[in-house]
Amino acid sequence: ISNLRVTSQLIQKYFPNATVLPAIGNHESVPINSFPVPNKGNYTVQWLYDEFANHWMDFLPESTKPTIKRGAFYSIQAGKGLRAISLNTNLCYIYNWWLLYNSTDPKGQLHWLVDELQRAEDAGDKVFLVGHVAPVHLECITAWANSFRRIANRYESTIVAHFYGHTHFDHFHLFYDEKDESRPTGVAYVGPSVTTFIETNPSYRVYAVDGAGDKASWEVVDHETYWMDLAATNRDDKPRWALQYAAKKHYGLKSLSPRHWHELAERF
């Protein structure tokens, strides 16, 4: 809880005018990865959700509080024609053993997600999906991941990008049409970490998005990844951040569309 409070204060201090989209990670609970379903009795983590509901109000509208208290997920209007949805993907994480009780749709989060995406589609809005653990088969319970993939495919024209973390490494995932597995339907970006775990240099990423004007597509048009040379920093006692690569130039991409990421994966 102390870490949550300090982190919130630091973000407010150094990014006072930024739109902040928090997402709950697997280390937030005690013990790690433990997010009980159902959430009641001696094993509840309602205390944690309540704490997030209080501290995230520094960044989010009051309207998000009910679903944050319910399970640390929410949806906001992030811009004209853009909604941002933050998921609690610990409710699908393979190391959350409480999912043995219910791995289908804990907290009704997927049902809620469909409702939010349908509202966005009806309004003609685009959506950014944000979370900690990428909801793919390597990280998520299969039943949940299958349901999520079907939802992502159904709303492929509404969801313009997925943003995740957790692994501390730089990689991406593609979603594919169930009826035509050669057709990519979406991209999930997994950004590197500013921590040194596991034996990595600190890194962060900046995404460039088409958000200008009334006809903004909100599509990711490029991203740049920066890194800090930890050996040089320890030697000189001064952090050195430098551009590691820009996606379009480094990979020779015509665009950051699912099709062009698929073509890159084929080249790999």
Check residue 170 and give its pLDDT.
Answer: 96
C-alpha to C-alpha distance for 117 and 259, rounded to whole angstroms: 22
Tokens of 268: 């790999």
Q: Is the backbone peptide bond immediately before 198 cis, with ω within 30 degrees of 0?
A: yes
Q: Is the dihedral angle over the CA atoms 244, 78, 155, 108 positive or is it negative?
A: positive
Burial of 262 (0-12, 13-18, 19+ CB in 10 A): middle
| Two tokens, residue 137 | 């088969």
Its pTM stands at 0.96
Burial tier of 154 (Cβ tally within 10 Å: 0-12, 13-18, 19+): middle
- Digit-by-digit pLDDT tens for the chain (268 residues) are 888 889 889 999 999 999 999 999 999 998 999 999 877 778 889 999 999 999 999 999 999 999 999 999 999 999 999 999 999 999 999 999 999 988 999 999 999 999 999 999 999 999 999 999 999 878 999 999 999 999 999 999 999 999 999 999 999 999 999 999 999 999 999 999 999 988 899 999 999 999 988 889 999 999 999 999 999 999 998 899 999 999 999 999 999 999 999 999 999 9
Q: What is the rounded distance in angstroms from the CA atom of residue 109 to the CA atom of residue 131?
A: 13
